[in-house]
Chain A
Amino acid sequence: MNLSATVPVSWFLILSALLFTIGVVGVLVRRNALVIFMSIELMLNAANLAFVAFARDLQSLDGQVFVFFVMTVAAAEVAIGLAIIVNVFRLKETVYVDEINLLKG
């Protein structure tokens, strides 16, 4: 391993892919709605990391501006989603997604 001053950009992309995969597995494996939300945040952050890595690679700041927008959307999504989860908890006394089957009839 060379301890040079630069890190290859593909390392950042591999890290982003790993983080995204962990987020996907979290969504698929867990059944607590809050942890599923956290896994979605992990996936959004993986996308952000890929944006920043490519922005650095292409010497362009547009990717970082996009990350700014993604963060805004993530904040809005978390606020709405947590409000929905609180409401569902009031109704069903649970946050487990496989016990929330109101639409099943």
Chain B
Amino acid sequence: MTLLFLAFAALLIGCALMVILHRSPVTSALFLVLTFCSLAGIYLLLQAEFLAMVQVIVYAGAIMVLFLFVIMYLNLKRDVEDGMPHVLRRYVGWAIGALLLVEGALYFGKHWALGASLPEPAPEVGNTAAIGQLLYSRYLFPFEITSVLLIVAILGAVLIGRGRVAPVTPREGGQP
């Protein structure tokens, strides 16, 4: 299991780095799919089977299809990343990232000593059934609020995505 974790972690970090380093947005999006899939593998190692499946379906399926659709719709070229301000910003960005990492490492070193191992898994009715019971009992109200959020998101996406051009020229159909 340790080997499996290390393999998934290496894939995760490598693909995430490729997402932010690659110049072409399409390649970035495809590496992001790989990132989500390896994260689903890590969820499986953590015995969160439901979340692993949802991760693959929702993230790697729905959200990434949306991303790729928009990238291809906008017909983007490779990013032009040059010029003095951009180089400066790149150095500042990596410096801030390194600072964040060092800060986290110090925090981890103080509070979370390496070696606290995971306890043995508790036998349950199954991850999905347990989450469903929890979702429909204790978290029923947030669950319903989520549906309102999704409705608002749908309406907002349609309204914003339609743009301000109201008169659409009727397109003659019947093209084979």
With A5-B1, A29-B90 as known contacts, state yes or no: A59 contacts B122, CB within 8 Å: yes
Which bucket holds chain B's interface residue count?
35 or more
A42 to B66, Cβ gap below 8 A?
no
CA distance A11 to B13 in the complex (A): 13
Residues facing B in A42-79 (CB within 8 A) are 42, 45, 48-49, 52-53, 55-57, 59, 61-62, 64-65, 67-69, 71-79
B116 to A84, Cβ gap below 8 A?
no
Query: Which residues of the other chain, A, contact B92 by a CB distance below 8 angstroms?
Result: 28
Mark contacts of B19-33 with chain A using CB atoms, 8 A cut-off: 1 yes-contact digit, 0 otherwise: 110000100110010
With A18-B101, A49-B42 as known contacts, state yes or no: A24 contacts B1, CB within 8 Å: no
Min CB gap A31→B, angstroms? 7
For chain B, what secondary structure do more than half of its interface residues adopt (helix, strand, loop), or is it mixed?
helix
A to B contact number (C-beta, < 8 Å): 227
B118 to A8, Cβ gap below 8 A?
yes
By the criterion of a CB under 8 Å from any partner CB, how many residues of chain A are at the interface? 74
Query: Which residues of the other chain, B, contact A4 by a CB distance below 8 angstroms?
Result: 1-2, 117
Residues facing A in B1-56 (CB within 8 A) are 1-3, 5, 9, 12-13, 16-17, 19-20, 25, 28-29, 32, 35-36, 39, 42-43, 45-48, 50-51, 54-55
A38 to B5, Cβ gap below 8 A?
no
CA distance A42 to B122 in the complex (A): 30
> Which of B39, B76, B139 has most chain A Cβ within 10 Å?
B39
- Chain A residue with minimal CB distance to B150? A76
Q: Which of A2, A8, A23 contacts B114 (CB 8 A)?
A: A8
In the assembled complex, B89 has its CB within 8 A of some CB on chain A: yes
Provide 12 A-B residue pairs closer than 8 Å at the C-beta atoms, listed in order of the A residue. A9-B116, A15-B9, A17-B104, A21-B101, A22-B13, A31-B86, A42-B32, A62-B138, A64-B50, A65-B134, A71-B59, A83-B156
Q: Nearest 9 CB-CB pairs, A to B? A: A28-B93, A26-B20, A76-B153, A25-B97, A29-B93, A83-B161, A83-B160, A79-B157, A17-B104
